[in-house]
Amino acid sequence: MAQLANLNGISETLPVLSRLTSLQRTQKRASIVGCLGKKKDAVPEALQTTRRLALGLASIALVGNSSSGAALAEGSNGFWIDGLLPVPSADNKIANEETGTRSFLKNHLYMADIGTKGRKYRLKKYAFDLLAMADLIAQDKLNYVQKYLRLKSTFMYFDFDKVITAASDDEKQPLTDLANRLFNTVEKLDGAVRQRNLSQTETYYQDTTVILQEVMARMA
């Protein structure tokens, strides 16, 4: 009977302990609010623990996402390129016949595959950018002209090649002729800028702007 009495006493005590635990938790929450209200600069330890826990969970989530992204990249090459960057090349006859290349071409540029429509848009945009370069044509700014001209013209060169390749048989030759006329004048302009010859730069730039307007109209 004594043992039963002890068991009854324990069973009656358990609800009281649970209520005390709930009360203590409520008091702790109230004390945190009070600390935040009185001392703005002081951060309670319990709040710091909660913040560390949240940051830890967030880092786990980020690691998980990056791991799945890495697996996707390794499988489909969707995020980066393994190994060396591909070297762009031209398949159509738009290079200088004497040199087999173009003097303004820059090396070590990565050109993403943005499709024929994207390349046409970029050709139009870069033609507009070169038309807007007129304010830079000055003796003390020719070094900037050279860098800008070569960067834009390099993209236009390889974009033109891909657009010609994707064009119909009736359009290939007219596009090839337009590209050669453009890049012939760009080569002359690049040579004048490289020699820091302002008068020739202005002359060749005027010739280039006429063809750039044709490019914009053709890629519209």
Q: What is the pLDDT along the chain (220 residues), one digit of tens a residue?
A: 444 444 444 444 444 444 444 444 544 444 444 444 444 445 555 545 555 555 555 544 444 444 444 434 344 455 567 777 788 899 999 999 999 999 999 988 888 889 999 999 999 999 999 999 998 999 999 999 999 999 999 999 999 999 999 999 999 999 999 999 999 999 999 999 999 999 999 999 999 999 999 999 999 8
The reply to whether 73 and 14 lie within a common domain is no
Q: Is residue 33 part of a domain?
A: yes
Supply the pLDDT for residue 86. Answer: 81
Query: What does DSSP assign to residue 95?
Result: S
The answer to whether the beta carbons of residues 173 and 180 sit under 8 Å apart is: no
Query: What does DSSP assign to residue 195?
Result: T
At residue 190, the 3 state secondary structure works out as helix
Q: Which residue reads 């001392």 in tokens?
A: 39
Supply the pLDDT for residue 50. Answer: 58
Q: Identify the domain containing residue 71 by its residue range.
A: 43-83
Q: Which residue reads 């830079």 in tokens?
A: 136
The reply to whether 211 and 141 lie within a common domain is yes
Query: What does DSSP assign to residue 219?
Result: T
CB neighbour list of residue 92: distance below 8 Å, 6 or more residues apart? 161, 164, 165, 172, 176, 179
Q: Which residue reads 């929450």 in tokens?
A: 29
The reply to whether 55 and 12 lie within a common domain is no
- Closest residue by Cα to residue 148 from 112, 97, 104, 90: 104
d(CA 213, CA 211): 5
Q: Is residue 106 part of a domain?
A: no
d(CA 84, CA 108): 10
Supply the pLDDT for residue 156. Answer: 98
The reply to whether 74 and 33 lie within a common domain is no
Supply the pLDDT for residue 84. Answer: 79
The reply to whether 141 and 156 lie within a common domain is yes
The answer to whether the beta carbons of residues 97 and 180 sit under 8 Å apart is: no
- Give the chain's domain count: 3
